[in-house]
Structures are given as structure tokens and as C-alpha cells.
């Protein structure tokens, strides 16, 4: 299966979390700070929010808790 991240296709396995798929894909800025600096998952257990993404329009979704679904549209979440 696959999903898009910031417009680019990313392949993933069923059961994988978005965070794991993005890490495996070598994505640098899973989320962005308000200065535009990249962030990657820090805790992988839903507490740090550094892995936050926007999924199909829903903001501040923790990618480490979200299983990949085919065709998801995912974007880096940015704090403003």
C-alpha cells in the first residue's frame, strides 16, 4: 500500500504506523517547528507530538499512533 507525504508517494506495509513508514523512508521533517526546522519522532509513544502530521485535513495527528491506510494524504504538521 502507499500514501502521500507532502505530495510524494511513500510505500508502506499494512500494520505499519505512519511514523515508522516515514522513518523507514528517510523523511527528515515529519513535523516542522514554527521556524521551519525539521522534527522527527522523539518518543514513538504518543507523548512528544514531534511526529505530528496532518492526515486528510485533520491537524496534529500523531503519526506514531496512526496505522497507514492506503491513499492517505499526509502532510508535515507545522506549529505557527
Under the rule (CB under 8 A), what is the footprint of another protein? Answer: 13-17, 19-20, 23-24, 28-29, 33-35, 37-50, 52, 57-60, 65, 67, 79-80
Closer residue to another protein in complex, CB, 4/47: 47
Judged by DSSP in three states, 37 sits in coil
Give the count of beta carbons closer than 10 Å to the beta carbon of residue 35. Answer: 7
Closer residue to another protein in complex, CB, 46/71: 46
> CA torsion angle for 43, 39, 69, 46 (degrees, to 10)?
30
- What's the closest the beta carbon of residue 71 comes to another protein, in angstroms? 16
- All 3 cell numbers of residue 38? 525539521
Amino acid at each position: 500500500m502507499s500514501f502521500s507525504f507532502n505530495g510524494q508517494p511513500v510505500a508502506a506495509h499494512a500494520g505499519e504506523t505512519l511514523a515508522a513508514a516515514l522513518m523507514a523512508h528517510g523523511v527528515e521533517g515529519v513535523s516542522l517547528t514554527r521556524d521551519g526546522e525539521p522534527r522527527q519522532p522523539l518518543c514513538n509513544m504518543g507523548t512528544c507530538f514531534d511526529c505530528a502530521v496532518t492526515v486528510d485535513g485533520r491537524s496534529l495527528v500523531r503519526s506514531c499512533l496512526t496505522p497507514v491506510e492506503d491513499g492517505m494524504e499526509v502532510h508535515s504538521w507545522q506549529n505557527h
